[in-house]
Amino acid sequence: MKKKVLIIIAAVLVLLLLIPFPIQMKDGGSVKYKAVLYSVTDVHRFVSPKEGTVEFEDGLIIEILGMEVFNNINE
């Protein structure tokens, strides 16, 4: 019985660490999906390099345990 309780507690803890919550960024449409162990950012960022032009940066950033492991933002 004690082993079942420990397995259930461990499963709930793993689920809490892995379920992401979406966060809307105020930079033109980026969305950050953040969990305790990782975060994924779908970047759609407004940049204006020159006056009168409108451009966006698109890409994906993946971080695991706070370290960036993938970044393909087109600059």
pTM beyond 0.85: the answer is no
Give 9-59 pLDDT, tens digit per residue.
999 999 988 999 999 998 878 999 999 999 999 998 887 777 777 788 889
Q: In three state form, how does the secondary structure of the chain look?
A: CHHHHHHHHHHHHHHHHHCCEEEECCCCCCEEEECCCEEEEEEEEEECCCCCCCEEEEEEEEEECCEEEEECCCC
Please classify residue 30 by burial: count the beta carbons closer than 10 Å to its beta carbon, then call 0-12 exposed, 13-18 middle and 19+ buried: buried
